[in-house]
Structure 1
């Protein structure tokens, strides 16, 4: 596996990987209407371009060298809060889950903290999403619950999780 820093030209690939992942990950958890709304808002070309223009926000494509395919992506932001990196996005296409790509991407992110002064990684995960178990296996702990109005009559009902770097 190789992580490749995403560029502007990769936006359509990020959008495709997000759609493939979301349609699987959130089926039965949130409605198709909410999935489509959130993908449209969070993965528009304009929104991803803003992230790529932010020097603290990084996207990496997860590339499987064995079969020359893109398996997913990770998006994170250093300095999101004091001493804190936020893992905004980590998604794998359905057929790539359970093969170690997610664990290796999280390990990569933990190493990337050395590029900042951050000592903590935070993320949000839907309360019904089985990914919570994955994050717990990577030493993340729930520290808060939140319900966030995201517009159009939709909410995100999430756990907030954190990982603390032990120096």
Structure 2
């Protein structure tokens, strides 16, 4: 009888451990899938139906650098490379905050800052995502460039649609 009781307790502890391990892994699903290099297209934000594309690289620590970036229909404005951070992950959902200076396309002088908040979800297969992005524009100049206060941004100037396609995932190397 004592052996049966130990067997039942062992069996229950194995089931409990397996269940909690799977549950713990589920909270990190989006974080695991976001790590890698993405081709990102943002639409619904520029005049005349313009769009912009860039490359986003997300590291395991939550850093999301958005580099390159070319715009169509940007009306004389260009973006700088944009540092970003993954600020929330939950299930298949995520939030990324990105910061970029805006500059005059001819002179290169900064004339504003763009703060973009992507709220999206990883799609089936983890090879793509869709998101909605709130874009906030703050006036800046060489003479006056304060740090943005993200808690008091107010209403976004624009809401855009974002799609991402995974280009590459990092290789896990065990030494």
Larger strand percent? 2
TM superposition score category, shorter chain reference: under 0.3
Higher helix share: 1
Larger Rg: 2
